[in-house]
Amino acid sequence: MGKPLEGIKVVEVAMWAFVPACGGMLADLGAEVIKIEPPSGDPLRGLQIGGLGQSAIDYSWESYNRGKRSVTLDLKQPAGRAVLDRLLEDADVFLTNLLPPARRTMRIDAATLREAFPRLIYASGSALGPNGPESDKGGYDAITFWARGGLASSLTEEGALHPVGPPGPAFGDTLSGAMLAGGICAAIARRALTGEAGEVDVSLLGAAMWSQQRLICQATADGVRKFPRPDPRLPNNVLVANYRTADGRFVALCMLQADRYWARFCEVAGRPDLAADPRFANSAARRENLAACHEAVTELFASRTLAEWRDILSRQDGQWDVVQDVGEIAQDVQVRANGYLKQVPAGGDTTLPMVSVPMLFDGAALPSSRSPELGADSDAVLSALGYSEDEIIDLKVQGVVF
């Protein structure tokens, strides 16, 4: 069975991570994604990120530009713009994150392109949305998604010297890019069903709000500026908490129906006396004696290693999991069984690890291929558009194609 977006052509004029991550997902889903890069290339190429090692592989570039074709093209020159027009004649999607003023200057804004190509779906990733007084403003995931979108504040304890930062590079970019890919798929379906193309935009701010809508809606309804962080030292429910084991690891419990699981948990943990204790007999009693109950459970977890707790907790029905480090995830039995992390051919006998798109089709993960070298496909793509060898050479002499 083929990939779900085979036959769809996407032309991407974008840089950094947010919208390119969307293009990478579309490529894995089967679309032909042609990435238009300026002569200097996407600035993400070769970006050094502190604290992440000195691997010869640029995993940011590889992850967000997987499976694409690269064409270097100077869109500021009329001849470069003419090449783009030829590319768009049979394209299904135009994908961009250039700021609106730059798009208008280069005549790649939605009004211009959709007038010329009515069946074209115009997809954009923005910082703050296409409407409003700040619609032309740029942004990045660390400041727009994480900071302005409220995540930093929601995760930071009162009185902290600094707000909590994102867990890693492009955290908000990849989530927002996936949402934009979903919007594009919906637009493709609408066009197939109604013949109507159109525009779709996903913003970093909007994606951040979607990710924590429960807090935002509650705060808006209640007139609250910020909810206090739950005190991890004393949870409302002792079976919804993280506990340190004897070997310094953490186990996360999320047994929301505490009375359903409490007695069996105590039994398999070797402490049936806790369930029999009137102070801890049910949820109401445990809340009244929360400090004593939490202390008992904390000491219980501290008495055994993670390996022991894996065995113990597997013998009861309540929900739990291990707090894993990123370096452990590759060996996770479910990751391996579902192909969530794969090895992609990288030339010769070498491979590189790459995370699969998170949806499986017919029970299987989709394959991926490496990201392109700068301009690797310029000649082939132009030749397929009807440019002769002499015309391609002339474009190179003019500095239009590289």
Going by C-alpha positions, the residue among 209, 204, 208, 201 that lies closest to residue 96 is 201
The predicted pLDDT at position 55 comes to: 65
The predicted pLDDT at position 355 comes to: 96
Q: Rounded to whole angstroms, how far apart are CA atoms 350 and 66?
A: 16
Instruction: Give how far the C-alpha of residue 110 lies from the chain's centroid of Cα atoms, to the nearest Å.
Output: 25
The predicted pLDDT at position 64 comes to: 95
Dihedral of the alpha carbons of 171, 120, 379, 34, in degrees to the nearest 10: 20
Q: pLDDT tens digits for 373-386?
A: 999 999 999 999 99
Q: Rounded to whole angstroms, how far apart are CA atoms 320 and 313?
A: 8
pLDDT at residue 51 tops 60: no
At residue 287, the 3 state secondary structure works out as helix
Of the pLDDT bands very low, low, confident and very high (cuts 50, 70, 90), residue 246 is: very high
> Residues 236-249: what's their mean pLDDT?
96
Angle at 252 between CA 251 and CA 253, to 5 degrees: 120
Percent of the chain scoring above 90 in pLDDT? 89
The predicted pLDDT at position 230 comes to: 77
Going by C-alpha positions, the residue among 174, 144, 140 that lies closest to residue 60 is 174
The predicted pLDDT at position 53 comes to: 60
Of the pLDDT bands very low, low, confident and very high (cuts 50, 70, 90), residue 320 is: very high
Q: Tell which wins on pLDDT, 233 or 73.
A: 73
Q: Determine which helix (DSSP H) or strand (DSSP E) holds 250, and give its type and residue range.
A: strand 250-254
The percent helix, strand, coil of the chain (3-state, each to 5) is 45, 15, 45
Q: pLDDT tens digits for 255-305?
A: 999 999 999 999 999 999 999 999 999 999 999 999 999 999 999 999 999
Q: Rounded to whole angstroms, how far apart are CA atoms 154 and 147?
A: 10
Q: pLDDT tens digits for 330-346?
A: 999 999 999 999 999 98
Between 213-222 and 204-211, two packed helices, what is the crossing angle to 10 degrees?
Answer: 80
The predicted pLDDT at position 54 comes to: 60
The predicted pLDDT at position 158 comes to: 86
Of the pLDDT bands very low, low, confident and very high (cuts 50, 70, 90), residue 157 is: confident
pLDDT at residue 248 tops 90: yes
The predicted pLDDT at position 50 comes to: 57
Provide Rg for the chain, Cα atoms.
26
The predicted pLDDT at position 231 comes to: 77
Structure-token pair, residue 165: 């930062």
pTM, 2 dp:
0.92
Tell me if 356 sits within 8 A of 340, measured CB to CB. Answer: yes
Q: Tell which wins on pLDDT, 302 or 160.
A: 302
Query: b/e map of 170-189 (b: 16 or more CB within 10 Å)?
Result: bbbbbbbbbbbbebbbebbe
The predicted pLDDT at position 144 comes to: 97
Across the chain, mean pLDDT equals 94
The predicted pLDDT at position 49 comes to: 64
> Residues 234-258: what's their mean pLDDT?
96
Q: pLDDT tens digits for 383-398?
A: 999 999 999 999 999 9
